[in-house]
Amino acid sequence: MKIIVTGCGKTGVAAIESLVSEGHDVIAIDNRLEAIEEIRDIYDIMCLCSNGADYNTLTEAGIEEADMFIAVTGSDELNMLSCIIAKKMGAKHTVARVRNPEYNDKSLGYIKQQIELSLIFNPEYLVAQEIFNILKFPAAVNVETFSRRNFEMAELLLRDNSPIIGMKLSDLRKKFQANYLICVVQREDKVFIPDGNFVLESGDRIGITADPAEIQKLLKMLGILQKSVRDVMILGGGRIAYYLSKMLIGSGNTVKIIDSNRARCETLSDLLPKARIICGDGADRELLLSEGLTASDSFVALTGMDEENILVSIFASSKQVKKVIAKVNGVELSDMAEKLGLDCVVTPKQTVSGIISRYARAVANSAGSNVETLYKLMDGKVEAAEFNVAVDFEYQNIPLKDLKLKENILVSGIIRRRKAIIPSGDEVIKAGDKVIVIAANTVLNDLSDIMR
């Protein structure tokens, strides 16, 4: 597809990287020459240094032939205006990033309808939701939800004292009777779609799919079930911190936010009257300790500096805080953070990549079994995709054991009339089902792509 992206900040670069990797014809627009030169140096794509809402610029970019126009500049209003102009000039689908908390769900729904936007997304809100899910399920290092929370995938890190180290997956199923599936394992830099003979080792990162209650049941059997966190300390008072605090306070948690910017602290104090706001340097260990770090159930580092988030999170971990989460944008730093012992690292880039990839695939294959949900897992090496099964799906009512699936593909779950099914070899796919597929090093646009 031909896709135009205006705005080449962190979100724009993540979108461009994802779309180029999937083979789309991408054109980048930004009014900052340094941003355009950086994109041009990395990717073999057309780049324009100009305003993405300008008629002449969009004409030069070939907007009338564009399958999709994505606006991710630093201004919500400019993003929406760009999409209006792009739509009028012939773009088939328009996508806008809108970040300002003042635009609530009701107003965004109205705006989307009135200016015919195909998709509005808010990366900061989505990252906050991702962190919130983990805090509700602290034994996991990551939690992704499918089919309106009827089905989940939890990623766990196996420590030296884990009771399942050295066990075959087939023996694990016999010993721990729960309706679950270990569908993917990351061991150092390699990922595996395991069979029953796969033996688990210390340090493995495993993905478990199941109904949420079944995952809780399994973790209880393993002796690693942890209660949801109660008291949360957040370092950094940006948009993610605001959205996360609203979610936590709404669930009855106590929240403490530390930020060095006084004006931001005053704003947060007005917006979040039930949160405690501290104006101070969160990198100051004495401040953290005096504000009750060791008494907190969780510490979440959300500053704009990856290095600070990593270092302060390591300090929090050393003080035995039960759950520590660090936001890290850079992939290299994210890998380093995990090697330094941080179990839970959230990368906004992967969240954006999943949003853009999912929608692009849905648009490219609108007549087939569309991708409804898409997550990048295991450092981006694995995808978990949820498909709606169309009435004309070719491989309906055939037992899974008789389907010739591609390598590194696993059907890990089926949702049928809101009931979660961990499929056996005798299970079949039916029209109207939602099917969760795990794919390693493979791009899936349609459910039929799982077949050889």
pLDDT in tens, 380-432: 788 899 999 989 899 999 999 999 999 999 999 999 988 889 999 999 999 99
Output the pLDDT for position 32.
96
Q: With contact defined as beta carbons under 8 Å apart, do 413 and 387 qualify?
A: no
Q: Which residues make up the CATH 3.30.70.1450 domain(s) of the chain? A: 139-222, 350-450
- The tokens 């759950």 sit on which residue? 323
Distances (CA, A) of 356 to 115, 187, 372, 376: 20, 28, 12, 11
Predicted TM-score (pTM) of the model is 0.86
Backbone angles phi, psi at 50, to 5 degrees: -170, -175
CATH assignment of 231-346, among 3.40.50.300, 1.10.3720.10, 3.10.580.10, 3.40.50.720 = 3.40.50.720
Output the pLDDT for position 13.
93
Spell out the residues 6+ positions from residue 9 whose beta carbon is closer than 8 angstroms to its own.
35, 72, 73, 74
Q: Which CATH superfamily is domain 350-450 in?
A: Regulator of K+ conductance, C-terminal domain (3.30.70.1450)
Give the chain's mean pLDDT. 91
What span, in angstroms and rounded, lies between the C-alpha atoms of 430 and 448? 13
Q: With contact defined as beta carbons under 8 Å apart, do 353 and 18 qualify?
A: yes
Spell out the residues 6+ positions from residue 82 whose beta carbon is closer than 8 angstroms to its own.
6, 52, 53, 69, 71, 73, 96
Q: With contact defined as beta carbons under 8 Å apart, do 237 and 256 qualify?
A: no
pLDDT in tens, 215-244: 888 888 888 777 778 999 999 999 999 999
CATH architecture observed for domain 2-121: 3-Layer(aba) Sandwich (3.40)
Spell out the residues 6+ positions from residue 411 whose beta carbon is closer than 8 angstroms to its own.
400, 405, 423, 429, 435, 436, 437, 450
pLDDT in tens, 257-298: 999 999 999 999 999 999 999 999 999 999 999 999 999 999
Q: Is the pLDDT of residue 153 over 80?
A: yes
- The tokens 């493995």 sit on which residue? 204
Quickly state the pLDDT bin for 311 (edges 50, 70, 90): very high
Q: Is the pLDDT of residue 367 over 60?
A: no
Class at the top of the CATH hierarchy for domain 139-222: alpha beta
What span, in angstroms and rounded, lies between the C-alpha atoms of 99 and 272? 18
| Beta strands, E only, 313-370 | 323-327, 344-346
In percent, the amount of the chain with pLDDT more than 70 equals: 99
